Structure formats: structure tokens, C-alpha cells
Amino acid sequence: MKFDTKVVQSGMTPDPTTGAIVPPIYQTATYVLDEVGKDKGFDYTRSSNPTRQIMEEVLADLDGGKFGVAFASGMSAVDSVMKLLKAGDHVVCSDDVYGGVSRHFNQILVNYNLHFTYVDSSNPTNIENAIQANTKLIWVETPTNPLLKITDLEAVGNIAKKHNILFGVDSTFATPVFLRPLEFGADLVMHSTTKYLSGHNQLIGGIVITNREDLFNQLKFVQKTIGAVPGPFDCWLTLLGIKTLDLRMKKHDANAQIVAEYLEAHPKVSSVTYPGLPSHPSHKIAKKQMSGFSGMISFELTNGILAGETVMNSVKLAKLAESLGSVETMITHPATMTHADVPQEEREARGLTDGLVRLSVGIENADDIIADLEQALNQV
């Protein structure tokens, strides 16, 4: 089955009791047992829920995985992966990750005696060099948030296998439309379903996908024990969003390419980062492992931070907001918004400057997005 058919057809089993074509929202906390020790496969919604289960199966299917475990947010999905580790374990992590992930690792998990080394994962050798005797997990984002660095998943998958280390990929920016990390040797794929997968700025959610039954069982145990689960209505909304995922992503990708080329040619813009531009340092790797480059762009202005602020305050169609991956174009200032909790020295060391502007290109007409940016750039 082709991918664009799969996003529509996956999980489409008519409801067994009514034949409803859309899965019902099983808005229930618990389930009545037939007799002691005999249930119908569900006993309590923290452990499992039919609407959630359909969403978990569909999202696993789209990423080419056997198992999906859903969480209440992308962050609780990341946290649950970290719960596979034990005190004393070490993680090698991409140096450019979502600010909430850095905050979680550096301000919470370090207190539980977990250790982190951050490396520029766009060079696989950096990852291999950072491996220690107690390294249990390699965790990468690709493309990263917000600098859109690309990790060669096949190369890192081989390193993980050679050293017998778990390999997890936050694939939120790419989506399974453009990249399926399990095909390149990842053990775990994670998405913030808040973003492209649900796609309409309507909820917060997360998912972890794997082909390994042992990891699935451990994650299910974490899910039911800690209970950071999404509500049935949010799962239902995500399933609705998924139906148009392929269409939306192709439009995000096409628009972002046009907007990135426009920005790159603009005299007031000093640099543009988009994996679909030949000027991107990992364009070739991105092209090798992804079938599209998705909808995220970051750029800097020739006149620095004040010019960037003028653009972000002057856009009208694009909305100045945290988050990304929705149908509407959104603009973000990572230094004061999504990555505000990353200390300034660390941001600077990563190359995340105060002048950086992040654009989540929506699915409007590209001419209108460019007209909006043009009028904002004219204010500079």
C-alpha cells in the first residue's frame, strides 16, 4: 500500500458494534468486567483505551513500526523513554534539541544521576567519540529544533548496533511522510503529536514507536504506571488530523522550499537554514534519507536581533507563537520563547543566536506568505 493510501486507510476497521466509519471516542475511565478475571481487553483507561489504541496502532503503522505507546505530550514521551534507563546511565544527545528537552535533561534528570553528553550529531564521529562504558542511549533530533541540523541515521544506527546501545530519534520535524527512522536502524522513534501529526494547533500529545517487543512492554509499563496518557478525545482529534497528513506535509514542504529560496535571495537576510537548500551543510544526507524537507526554516537578518524583532512584530498573516507544524504559518523567536530556558552561553555555543528567527511555514498560498514576509522585511 502506498503511503498516501495508508494515512487514509490505516486503522479503518468499522466499529464492531455500530459499523461507524469514524472510530468512536471511548470517553470512559473504566470498563465493566463480565466476571472476576474476565474483561473484554480493557480494564482501566490509564492502562489502555480503545480510541487511544487505534491511534497508537495507526501511528506505529505509518512509521513502519509494530508498536506505538501514546503519551500526554511530546515531553512525557521523551520522559518515558528516559525511564528505560537507570541511575548511573549515560546518554549521548544531539547538542541542538528542543529547549524543553534540554531543560528536562539538565534540570531534572541529572538529579536522578543520569548523565548527558551533547554533541553535534550531524557528524556521526562526534557521537562515537562521546560513547562511554555506561552509555545506554543515543538520542538525536533530526532535523533539530531550531537549527535544522541533520543526523545521518544509517551511520548512527550502525554505531549504536556496534556498541550495543539503544538508538532513539525525535522525528517530530520530519514526520513519517518524509522520514521513517526505524528503516535506518533506530530502536525508538518519538514524535510530539502536538505538531504536524495532529496538525491544527488543537492539542498536546506524544508517541513512541518501536519494533522491539521488549521495549514496547517496558514503555507500556511506564505508561500505565505513571499515567501520562492522552485523553480519548485528543486521540480522536489526532486520528482525524492524520487523514490529511500526506497532503498537508507535501504543501508544507513545497511552500517552505519557495519561502526558503525567497529569503535566501533577500538582501536583508544574512543566512537561511533549510535542509532543502543546496547551501544547507547536510543537504546531501537529508536528500538521501528524507523524501521531502518538511516545513521548518530558520534565518537571521543582516542587521541582527533588532531587525529580527521588527520582522517578528510586523508579520500579520504569520502568527507570533510557540509551537510549529500546524496549518497556519507561525513565527517564533527561539532565544526568548522555545529555548528561553537554555542558558545564554549554551545557546551561543550551539550557534543559537539571539537574532535567529524560526518559521513554521503553513499550507496557505506561498504568495501570501511571501507578501507577508516582504511587508515585514520592509519595516526593517
Q: Considering only residues 151-180, where is the footprint of ligand PLP by CB under 6 A?
A: 170, 172
- Residue 83's DSSP bridge partners are none
The residue range among 72-80, 210-218, 244-252, 343-351 that interacts with ligand PLP, by the rule CB under 6 A, is 72-80
Q: Which of 206, 207, 168 is nearest to 185 (CA)?
A: 168
Does 145 interact with ligand PLP (rule: CB under 6 A)? yes
Active site residue 46: yes
- Which of these segments, 23-31, 96-104, 130-138, 219-227, binds ligand PLP (CB under 6 A)? 96-104
Residue 85 near ligand PLP by CB under 6 A: no
Whether the Cβ atoms of residue 39 and residue 31 lie closer than 8 Å to each other: yes
CA atoms of 27 and 49, how far apart (whole Å):
9
In the complex, minimum distance from the CB of residue 97 to ligand PLP, in angstroms, rounded to a whole number: 7
Q: Which of 100, 176, 199, 275 binds ligand PLP (CB under 6 A)?
A: 100
Kindly list the distances between the CA atom of residue 129 and the CA atoms of 126, 132, 143, in Å, as whole numbers in the listed order. 5, 8, 21
Burial class of 328 by CB neighbour count within 10 A (0 to 12, 13 to 18, 19+) = middle
Q: Which of 149, 195, 251, 347 is catalytic?
A: 195
Residue 287 neighbours by CB under 8 Å, 6+ apart: none
What letter does residue 287 receive in the DSSP assignment? H
C-beta closer to ligand PLP: residue 188 or 269: 188
Task: Give the closest residue to 68 by CA, choosing from 175, 162, 191, 250.
Answer: 191
Question: For this structure, is 358 an active site residue?
Answer: no
Note if 262 is an active site residue: no
Tell me which of 31, 46, 212, 262 is the catalytic residue.
46
Of the candidate residues 51, 94, 192, 257, the single one contacting ligand PLP (CB under 6 A): 192
Cβ contacts of 11 within 8 Å, gap of 6 or more: 23, 54, 55, 57, 58, 61, 239
Give the interface size with ligand PLP as a residue count (CB under 6 A): 14
170 part of the active site: yes
Output the smallest distance, CB 324 to ligand PLP, in A.
Answer: 6
**Residue 164, Cβ neighbours under 10 Å: how many?**
8
Q: Which of 11, 50, 65, 74 binds ligand PLP (CB under 6 A)?
A: 74
140 sits near ligand PLP (criterion: CB under 6 A): no
204 binds ligand PLP (CB under 6 A): yes
Binding site for ligand PLP (CB under 6 A): 73-75, 98, 100-101, 141, 145, 170, 172, 192, 194, 204, 206
- Catalytically active residues are 46, 98, 170, 195
